[in-house]
């Protein structure tokens, strides 16, 4: 006698295939859905943690905090002044001092500010009409410190300093965009002899 399927049922082979397919979906699909759900949750949790941190690093408040730190650290060394000359990057420049500590080619203070606040820090000295970086952790394209380079003579920062004020805002530094702060360094007589700078590279 032949084996005939009961009306309303699938042949044994098809039933097996259907059961196997259902089995696979039951085993794989929920697992895949769980993995996707976990990935979404992790992303959602990570985004608010890291995104604000990135924006905070570039915030005006952070720039001002770093500036206060730079000024406080140099103030502890003593009153700023010019004492003779000391070459930077092979170029003659006035020697900037805070108390008895010479700042030309001295990176201790600017690197402390960078360590505590991230970003970059610089001390400029006035040299004629220019302001020269004598202590900095701003880097050139080759990764070396940009000592001996000068502040953009046509930028907003130098215009503010020359008028006796400070500048906070966007600035181009050696061809790269930064959010920055610049304040004048004054000697005991109130003369502008240099510039305090702090800044953070702008992210796209």
Instruction: Place 46 in a pLDDT band, splitting at 50, 70 and 90.
Output: very low
Report pLDDT for 149.
Answer: 97
Largest CA distance in the chain: 119
3-state class (DSSP) for residue 98: strand
The tokens describing 72, both together, are 């406080």
Q: pLDDT: is 123 or 8 the higher one? A: 123
Average pLDDT over residues 159-165: 95
Give the C-alpha separation, 12 to 203, whole Å. Answer: 64
**pLDDT confidence band for 59 (50 / 70 / 90):** confident
**Per-residue pLDDT tens for 143-159?**
999 999 999 999 999 99
CATH T-level assignment (fold) for domain 60-201:
Beta-Lactamase (3.30.450)
Q: How far apart (Å, rounded) are the C-alpha atoms in residues 33 and 96?
A: 64
Give the tokens for residue 88: 């930077």
Instruction: Report pTM.
Output: 0.72
Q: Minimum mean pLDDT among 56-70, 84-98, 103-117, 151-165: which range?
A: 56-70
Q: State percent of the chain over pLDDT 90.
A: 68
pLDDT at 12: 47
User: What's the mean pLDDT in 173-190?
Assistant: 95
What DSSP line would sit under 48-65, residue for residue? Answer: HHHHHHHHHHTSHHHHHH
Domain ranges of the chain: 8-57, 60-201
């Amino acid at each position: 006698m032949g084996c005939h399927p009961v009306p309303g049922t699938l042949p044994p082979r098809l039933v097996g295939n259907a059961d196997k397919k259902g089995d696979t979906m039951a085993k794989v699909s929920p697992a895949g859905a769980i993995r996707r759900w976990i990935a979404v949750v992790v992303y959602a949790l990570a985004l608010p943690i890291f995104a604000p941190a990135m924006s905070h690093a570039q915030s005006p408040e952070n720039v001002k905090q770093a500036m206060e730190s730079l000024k406080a650290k140099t103030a502890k060394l003593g009153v700023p002044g010019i004492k003779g000359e000391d070459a930077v990057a092979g170029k003659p420049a006035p020697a900037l001092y805070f108390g008895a500590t010479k700042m030309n080619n001295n990176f201790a203070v600017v690197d402390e500010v960078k360590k505590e606040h991230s970003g970059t820090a610089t001390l400029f000295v006035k040299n004629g009409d220019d302001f020269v970086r004598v202590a900095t952790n701003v880097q050139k394209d080759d990764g070396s410190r940009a000592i001996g380079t000068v502040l953009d003579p046509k930028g907003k920062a130098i215009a503010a300093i020359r008028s006796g004020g400070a500048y906070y805002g966007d600035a181009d530094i050696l061809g790269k965009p930064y959010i920055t702060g610049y304040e004048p360094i004054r000697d005991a007589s109130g003369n502008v002899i240099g510039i305090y700078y702090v800044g953070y590279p702008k992210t796209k």
